[in-house]
Amino acid sequence: MATLKNLIKSALPLLSTSQVHAVSPTATLQIIIAGILAYHCYPSMLSLKDILFVVLYPSYLMLANHYRFDNNAIVRQRSEDNPHSVTKLKAKFFSGSDSPWFIQRYMPIAATFGVILPLFTFLFSSNKEVATLAVPHLFVLWCQIIGESTTMFNPNAHLFITLLLPLGFSIYRMNLLVEWFLGSVSLVFESSTSSGTVWGFVLSSLNLVFWTYNLFVMLLLRITPEFLSDDKCESPSYTVSIPPLFIQETTKGIIE
């Protein structure tokens, strides 16, 4: 029971949009939709490991944000005159996120390839096998979007946690993308070729190429170095005491 209380206490700052810690309606609706999708697709289309991942990994990040990074307290205490105040840092995801190429091209492509087309395939494809192959990646990506929507502009989310969420999900999704692609190839060459199987192959190929680029170029080379700079990603100082293993705070500085 104590562990559950700690998890809820850790989750509220991330699920809220203010210091009041009231769960935002948007986050609630997104979580409900993900739960409905999991209920209808498990175990025929979704595996237990995928469901466990989207529950346990965000839970770990919530606990880390609360206990290791103190809900971003150091950065939140900076004055508004500081060039790296929490308001300025959380105004946009990264330095290029408000650029026309990102808003008008990159994000629409990501949404179309990753969510819209797979969702339409799942709902309307006459080939059940093609629809089934698209579900695991769609579900995990949808849960990633939920996490990003609750951390990206949230002053209570430390910048390192904001970075770890898409990194962890993207790394996990690489295996799903490969399985989706290989399964689509098998449908094309091992069964009777149809417009449905060809579409499944094309869609899985587009997603594999795009999300591989997103992870290895966009996230790791473009966004990560910017996030890890000391002035943006400052955190409390801790030491690890063994035994027992726990993280114990020693000092905490405040930048004015």
The CA-to-CA distance between both ends of the chain, in Å, stands at 39
Distance between CA atoms of residues 133 and 184, nearest Å: 7
- Picking from 148, 177, 172, the residue whose alpha carbon sits closest to that of residue 161 is 148
Counting beta carbons within 10 angstroms of the beta carbon of residue 194, is it exposed (0 to 12), middle (13 to 18) or buried (19 or more)? Answer: middle
Distance between CA atoms of residues 154 and 72, nearest Å: 10
Question: Residues 116-167: pLDDT tens digits?
Answer: 999 999 999 889 999 999 999 999 999 999 999 888 888 888 889 999 999 9
Question: Residues 35-67: pLDDT tens digits?
Answer: 888 888 888 889 999 999 999 999 999 999 998
The sign of the CA dihedral 151, 153, 154, 157 is positive
23 close to 12: Cβ distance less than 8 angstroms: yes
**Which pTM value belongs to this model?**
0.82
Which pLDDT belongs to residue 28? 78
Which pLDDT belongs to residue 13? 57
Question: Residues 12-36: pLDDT tens digits?
Answer: 555 554 444 455 677 778 788 888 8
Compute the mean pLDDT over every residue in the chain, rounded to the nearest whole number: 81
- Picking from 2, 1, 24, the residue whose alpha carbon sits closest to that of residue 157 is 24
> Count of alpha carbons within 13 Å of 242, Cβ hemisphere only?
1
Identify which has the larger pLDDT, 219 or 228: 219
User: In what helix (H) or strand (E) does residue 239 lie, and over which residues does it extend?
Assistant: strand 237-241
User: In what helix (H) or strand (E) does residue 183 lie, and over which residues does it extend?
Assistant: helix 159-190
Distance between CA atoms of residues 216 and 194, nearest Å: 33
Q: Return the residue matching tokens 């100082």.
A: 237
133 close to 45: Cβ distance less than 8 angstroms: no
Whether 2 has a pLDDT exceeding 50, the answer reads no
Confidence of residue 253 (pLDDT cuts 50, 70, 90): very low
